[in-house]
Amino acid sequence: MSQRVLYDTNVILDVLLARQPFLAASAAALDLAGEGRVDGFVAGHAVTTIAYIVKREKKRATVSAALLQLLSKLRVATTTDSSIRLALAMDLDDFEDCVTVASAQEAGCELIVTRNVQHFRRALVPAILPEALVAGS
């Protein structure tokens, strides 16, 4: 069974928006899910955020195609009543990060891949940089 990994919003946006200098590392980390080397997830609440941000820079049809391509590689870690309640009890600075952690926990993820590792320093699910995921695979 492969490692279960939740990809944070910033890593996915790096790829969909070709954000430099982060594109190469984030794409390599996401490719691990596409290749089946990790079992990749995205938090359900993050999908709407990703769509909103991508839509500001691209056409609507492009957004749908990008999300379909993304979801061909990743599964959605649901955001549920229990994950929101779990997030409310967490001691992180940003509530969105708490929901990300709760969604990762409920999906049984072992890692969160993010460029904002410091945001997750007190989380029960460890956070690593995209480069670290690639190096460890």
Where exactly are the structural domains of the chain? 4-136
CATH architecture of the domain formed by 4-136: 3-Layer(aba) Sandwich (3.40)
Q: Which residues contact 17 (CB under 8 A, 6 or more apart)?
A: 53, 54, 57
- pTM of the predicted structure, to 2 decimals: 0.94
The pLDDT, as a whole number, for residue 61 is 72
Average pLDDT over residues 25-40: 97
pLDDT at 1 over 70: no
Let me know: does 112 contact 120? Beta carbons within 8 Å: yes
Please give the mean pLDDT across all residues of the chain.
93
Q: What percent of the chain has pLDDT over 70?
A: 99
Average pLDDT over residues 71-85: 94
| Peptide bond connecting 21 to the previous residue in cis, omega within 30 degrees of 0 | yes
| C-alpha closest to that of 95 among 49, 53, 35 | 49
